[in-house]
Amino acid sequence: MSTQGYEQELRSEQGYVTGLYARLDAERARVRRGYTAALAGTGGTHLERDDHVRAAAREMRRLDVADNGLCFGRLDTLSGEHSYIGRIGLFDEENDYEPVLLDWRAPASRAFYVATAATPENMRRRRQFHSRGRVVVDFTDEVLGRPDSDARGDAALLAAVNAPRGAGMRDIVATIQAEQDEIIRLDHPGVLVIEGGPGTGKTVVALHRVAYLLYTQRERMERHGVLVVGPNPAFLSHISRVLPSLGESDVVFMTAGDLVPGLRVTAEDAPEVARVKGSLKILDVLAATVAERQRLPETPVPIELGGVTLTIDAATAEWARDEARASDRSHNEARAVFTEIITYVLTERAIGRIGKGWLTRADKDGWEKLRSELLKELAEDDKFAATLDDLWPVLTPEDVLAELYSSPDRLHAAGGDPVLARADGSAWTVSDVPLLDELVDLVGRDTRVDEAAERERAAQAQYAAAVLDSLHGRQDSMDDEDHLFATDLLYAEDLAERFEERDTRDLAERAAADRDWTYRHVVVDEAQELSEMDWRVLMRRCPGRSFTVVGDLAQRRTESGARSWATMLEPYVPGRWKYRSLTVNYRTPAEIMAVAAAVLAEFAPDVLPPESVRACGVQPWSRQVTSDEIADAIADFVRDEAGREGTSVVIGPPGIPGVVPASETKGLEFDAVLVVEPTQILADGPRGAAELYVALTRATQRLGVLHQGPLPQALAGLTEIPQPVR
């Protein structure tokens, strides 16, 4: 194409894209009017009006994010037709809703990502736009079906991976590669495992797969939403913009420590303690801990009832306990069965002694009246209530677990490992979360709180009904001179709606606050770190077992984590999980990956490093410093990088000012990385090598290493540079 022809084409494409933005603006204005109308609406119930407001707000958010890169390409077919591909779909209402912009997730858009010169998918040309705001800056063409063509299709990809990093992860909707697209569109109802080394884009592929599933299965998934679980808050913040940028907001982001709402993690377990808590063997300990609270009296407990003295003995309590346990209810719910049996025994014994001599068996009314009086007396007996609390107390998960940890006797009685003991039982750790979640099911809710809430609701409803009946009665009994004021009717309507349950939170807020919320799909990132107990929690959250699991077994740092995907998943989804791998490294340049690969070869020789798609032309370096010089050297790096575009980080062992542990950078990426004291990172047991591998693979452009002693052998190939003269 000549320069003049190119400029004409560019102007033509700009005109088309300008027309798309005009449609977007018109659609946005229409939806905003609908939102305003929904806010002011008076028809229907509060719940119906809230649903309308939420739906309109969701549509506004979807349209708002489309401004950035609305249209990023065009496909030309062999027959001369062409389609434009973009973030969302737009249609021509005046022409039978013909698509003027295809959503990237639509089946017709697939060829944009998978067509090649060898397999053109019936396409003649793929055109990719480079835009800035609403302006098409330039475009590149790739002629398909001609293996000898001078294709420029990698230009957009290389421009994206070479661009400086910003505050968060960017979507890849314009540059999805064929191996990524296959995974994103994979139609599999069970668990999909995406494994890949550093920089292969497994996280962003998983997020785009969520956007694709929400597009293709919106009706099934939208009302329950999607849960995304990541390793730490920094990671979740890093990825949190991707799905909103694709128009999807019904997504909850959590760490493993957030899965029990309201719990505050304040401590960290030693590796051995975390390993014990992460094993399924802890289930027996938890069950035994709860069972130990279901006691029998050591000596008979006297109870005064109807003027006679009775006792709750061990045999009676054992019968009641056996019946309660056999009910298969949670501990707190089974308390009702335990109480019922004890109450039955005491009242029957009392009736037998009190009624003897003056009640005949034929006097049914007399028997029932006496039984009713005895039941009322027991219900008001403080000693009886205290005895029930002692033998079968109402428990909370937090109290049960805290007392287990802080009581050596309880820990021993439950068969728990002594390493679980700690002075402050309620100093919660991430490893405690799945145990507390398990105890929610074992212990159950506090039935006394539920009963009080139900009484309050009943009283409110009774009050509202009485007021409404009074107003209706006034209306029915009015004569010609009586008047029922409009304010009376408005008050009646307001009063009725006051007791109608309302929840104005959006889906993500409601789901995050509800432990019993279930999701239609769950994404688990850094999944190699999750224990067997962690997986029990997640499976509860998704009864349909629809998961996208992202990880890299070579990067596992926890002893309780996965050594194989089958071990973790087969118990829950036997035969219903698929494995896919990503092998191309889009983040880490070849120069840096060569250094990281040498570390990988030492601790995981069977694992092949991902192949980098590019080189950056900058060699990684190392510098030896003294203990007095290390702080200045770090400051030099920070100062130098502050003058460049992009992001940077200093990674190293704990205890060095200004240094971030490698575990806190998992899943993140930076333009420049300085790794401090790699030997100390390696010294952190079996997980040290994985930590160093993670640290070395965070950089997209520049990598430096500071060390005091000799470098580890795996890093011997780094270019050593001298300390600058001050």
Q: Residues forming the annotated binding site for ATP?
A: 196-203
Determine the 3-state secondary structure of 38 from DSSP. helix
Q: Enumerate the known binding-site residues.
A: 196-203
| Residues 612, 699: Cα–Cα separation, whole Å | 13
CA 703 – CA 595 distance, rounded (Å): 10
Q: In terms of residues, how long is the chain?
A: 726
Q: Which two tokens stand for residue 66?
A: 């489309």
DSSP 473-527: HHHHH--TT----HHHHHHHHHHHHHTS----S-HHHHHHT-TT---SEEEESSG
The residue type found at 54 is R
The three state secondary structure string of 659-708 is: CECHHHHCCCCEEEEEEECHHHHHCCCCHHHHHHHHHHCCEEEEEEEEEC
Q: b/e for 141-153, b at 16 or more Cβ within 10 A?
A: bbbbbeeeeebeb
Residue type, 514: D
With tokens 């056996």, the residue in question is 322
364 backbone dihedrals φ, ψ, rounded to 5°: -65, -40
Residue with tokens 């884009």: 201
* Residue 548 DSSP label: E
Beta bridge partners of 229: 254, 524
Q: Identify residue 257 by its one-letter amino acid code.
A: G
Q: Using only C-alpha atoms, what is the Rg of the chain?
A: 33
Task: Give the DSSP letter of residue 81.
Answer: -
CA pair distance 318, 304, nearest whole angstrom:
21
Residue 98 to residues 76, 89, 92, 102, Cα–Cα distance (Å):
17, 10, 5, 10
Helix (H) or strand (E) holding 129: strand 123-132
Contact 235/612 with Cβ under 8 angstroms? no
User: Can you read off the two tokens belonging to residue 205?
Assistant: 């592929």
* Mode of pairing for the β-strands spanning 135-143 and 584-585: unpaired
DSSP bridge pairs for 704: 621, 674
Sheet holding 577-582, edge to edge: 251-255, 226-230, 521-524, 547-551, 191-196, 577-582
CA distance linking residue 616 with residue 619, whole number of Å: 8
CB of 680 within 8 A of CB of 705? no
Q: How far is CA 518 from CA 349, 395, 399, 440, in A?
A: 48, 24, 26, 15
- Token duo for residue 501: 């349950």
